[in-house]
Chain A
Amino acid sequence: NAGVTQTPKFQVLKTGQSMTLQCAQDMNHEYMSWYRQDPGMGLRLIHYSVGAGITDQGEVPNGYNVSRSTTEDFPLRLLSAAPSQTSVYFCASSYWGGAFFGQGTRLTVV
């Protein structure tokens, strides 16, 4: 039982490049979310999903896309990376009792 698995752990991108951050959970939770963590700002919600085929925007959605084709997977796509997207990204899987977070992806955009 791995919980929430994120890949890659580290990534360096050039401005304008695109990439997909992967997230998978094995707890059969309906709800999954993506957050970004920046110093002094806590974690901010990017996008979330309440089930396969259903996604919605969070607080900071611009520049990111998501889709949810299965209960297990919730990838986050950066369409055209910008230096402002340098951050640590966390995926979470949740149920009524709380959220479980992955180990994070540290992304640097140069």
Chain B
Amino acid sequence: QQQVKQSPQSLIVQKGGISIINCAYENTAFDYFPWYQQFPGKGPALLIAIRPDVSEKKEGRFTISFNKSAKQFSLHIMDSQPGDSATYFCAASISGATSGSRLTFGEGTQLTVNP
């Protein structure tokens, strides 16, 4: 049972464009939604995270949009750069004191930013 569904599986964007990756979740008890970035041969690294009390969070070129009623959230990468080429994972967990300890991941999106 895939509780977090991610799309698209792969994405090709031109330099300077906007990359958008979408996720949908099923478990309404989830209340912590991080995005991870993974380069080949490396572990996932926390990029940005949101809790459902806000609808948007922005950090530099990265923005999470959150729609609680639709049970969906998305990552927007503005002014995409070749260095952003990586695999991106959305995730969800029930936080309390344990945010990140029991993450449910989406399937991943391989982003390629062409120069």
Interface, chain A (partner B; CB < 8 A): 4, 31-33, 35, 40-45, 48, 50, 58-59, 90, 92, 94-104
Contact = CB atoms under 8 A, between A and B. Distances in A.
Contacts of B36: 101
Interface of B: 4, 6, 9, 34, 36, 41-46, 49, 89, 95, 97-108
Contacts of A92: 100-101, 103
A97 B99 contact: yes
A48 to B, nearest CB: 6
B97 A99 contact: no
A96 B34 contact: no
Given A42-B105, A42-B108, A43-B103, A101 B49 contact: no
26 contacts: A4-B43, A33-B101, A33-B103, A41-B107, A42-B105, A43-B44, A43-B89, A44-B105, A48-B101, A48-B102, A58-B102, A59-B104, A92-B100, A92-B101, A94-B99, A96-B100, A97-B99, A98-B100, A99-B99, A99-B103, A101-B43, A101-B45, A102-B43, A103-B43, A104-B41, A104-B42
B101 A99 contact: yes
